[in-house]
Amino acid sequence: LVATWPLGEAAAISGQCESETKGQASLNLTFADYWVHMSFASSGGKASLAGIELFVTVQNGSRFLSPNSTGGLLLTASPKLPLSADTEHFACASELRLPFGQPGGSALVLSATKIQAFGVRNGSLSAKFATCALDARSSVPSDSTTAPSNTTAAPSDTTTAPSDTTAAPSNTTAAPSDTTAAPSDSTTASTDTAAPTNGTSTAAPPTSAVPTTASPEPPLLNFTVFNSARVPCLRLQLRASLSILYRLKSGGNATVKVALPADTKASGDCGNSSQTVQLSFMQGWRSDLIFVKKASGYALQHLAADYRLSPALFPNAAEPSANRSAFGNGTYFSVASGTAYYSCRSAETLRLDNFVTMETRDLRAQAFRTDNSSAEFAGSMEQCLDDTPIDNVVPIVVGAALAGLVIIVLIAYLIGRRRHSAGSGYQSV
């Protein structure tokens, strides 16, 4: 069956403008149990929709009727859809269907669409626009204030909750709501050490970001995600903190570092193709880590963070109490064997957009487990590069060989010079 539902208006909106990353822009819409991410690229003065992602929590209810499997489902696509010149906006009154995978399957459907990802001035669309081919060159108003209507088609194994239209936000940075995803499978979370630490911040000059002062080491956290049969599918251990850059009322920037406290709670899901652990802390803050199965092994592929610019943690913020979201996509680390686990005692920096980074230490992770062993982490260990011990034997041997060669050449030179002087009968003057 197919589930169809409109994107709701109560979305936490975030993104990244070209001024932050040259030639790239993004829009993130976070809802209660799903999120949509769109990435845009600019090349040669032309803009395109480079990628889309949909993460949805499949659970039995009004949207999904008796699904065969529940849990988090991540759908990705790279439409590479040409839009317009960077100085124009893209307009398409017709229905645009952007499939995830094969045509006819799950898709994100857009209609009455207006997009300008680059060259936006004063928050308004440019007067010039480019129409889509589906409109057959029909005239589209250039200065409308109506928002595009977005519709998304859900993944398979679902039933219908039909609808056709919903206003979708324009390219803004405001985050109107505080939403959290509701995963399907239960999980238990345990921690080793106490002493949660909240971040500290320092004000910055108007043109640069200033790092925060050093804070106590975050506590060591342990989390386990169980499937419906109470078999652990995902284990995670780490010390972690979020480093967040924000704007000041004065126009400058400052950075806050917030450690994940000892009372951090976890939930998650045990999907077949992706597995998620969702960390909740500090009354509404959230961080999601999404592991994706590969042909051999698995990888940490996606990160997400929701946070609030509370006055206590973000003094003099330009938008106090605003809700913000950040997303990260890419292979942060991978494990070659499906039965191995990843370990990195060294400090690692995992980058998201919106100038947010997650800094980790003492990280161990194992996803897609199928055994019910009592061991925290089963199978072989795959270390990060920074933890790999350096073998000093080879450099020492090479250095000694070179030193010996230099000594041999020097001795040969002295012997040859002595023989030459003795044979000639003359002394150098």
Domain boundaries, the chain: 2-135, 221-387
Domain 2-135 is found in CATH 3.30.70.2860: no
DSSP string spanning 137-174?
T----SS--PPPEEEEEPPSS---------B---S---
Identical fold at 2-135 and 221-387?
yes
pLDDT of residue 271: 87
Answer yes or no: are the C-beta atoms of 100 and 77 closer than 8 Å. Answer: yes
Task: Give the residue among 117, 130, 98, 97 at the shortest CA–CA distance from 48.
Answer: 117
Does pLDDT of 203 surpass 70? no
Helix (H, G, I), strand (E, B) or coil at 328: strand
Does pLDDT of 289 surpass 60? yes
Under the banding of pLDDT at 50, 70 and 90, the label for residue 214 is very low
In whole numbers, what is the pLDDT of the chain averaged over residues? 79
Task: Give the residue among 162, 263, 265 at the shortest CA–CA distance from 223.
Answer: 265
Give the CA angle between residues 304, 331, 79 to the nearest 5°: 80
DSSP state at residue 225? E
Query: CATH for 221-387?
Result: 2.40.160.110
End-to-end Cα separation, the chain, in angstroms: 103
Under the banding of pLDDT at 50, 70 and 90, the label for residue 248 is very high
Sign of CA dihedral 315, 319, 321, 325: negative
**Which CB contacts under 8 angstroms, 24+ apart, belong to 329-334?**
329/37, 329/39, 329/53, 329/301, 329/302, 330/301, 331/299, 331/300, 331/301, 332/299, 332/300, 332/301, 332/303, 333/299, 333/300, 333/365, 333/384, 334/294, 334/297, 334/298, 334/299, 334/300
Does pLDDT of 8 surpass 80? no
Does pLDDT of 116 surpass 70? yes
Does pLDDT of 186 surpass 90? no
- Please state which of the ranges 188-202, 337-351, 392-406 shows the lowest mean pLDDT: 188-202
pLDDT greater at residue 92 or residue 21: 92
DSSP state at residue 353? S
Answer yes or no: are the C-beta atoms of 81 and 130 closer than 8 Å. Answer: no
pLDDT in tens, 129-140: 998 888 865 554
pLDDT of residue 172: 36
pLDDT of residue 145: 44
Helix (H, G, I), strand (E, B) or coil at 113: strand
Q: Residue with structure tokens 């995963």?
A: 183
Tokens describing residue 176: 């109107």
Give the CA angle between residues 181, 185, 189 to the nearest 5°: 85
pLDDT in tens, 335-391: 999 899 999 999 999 999 889 999 999 999 999 998 877 778 988 999 999 887 766
Under the banding of pLDDT at 50, 70 and 90, the label for residue 179 is very low
Please name the amino acid found at residue 107.
A
pLDDT in tens, 56-96: 888 888 788 888 877 788 888 888 899 999 999 999 988 88
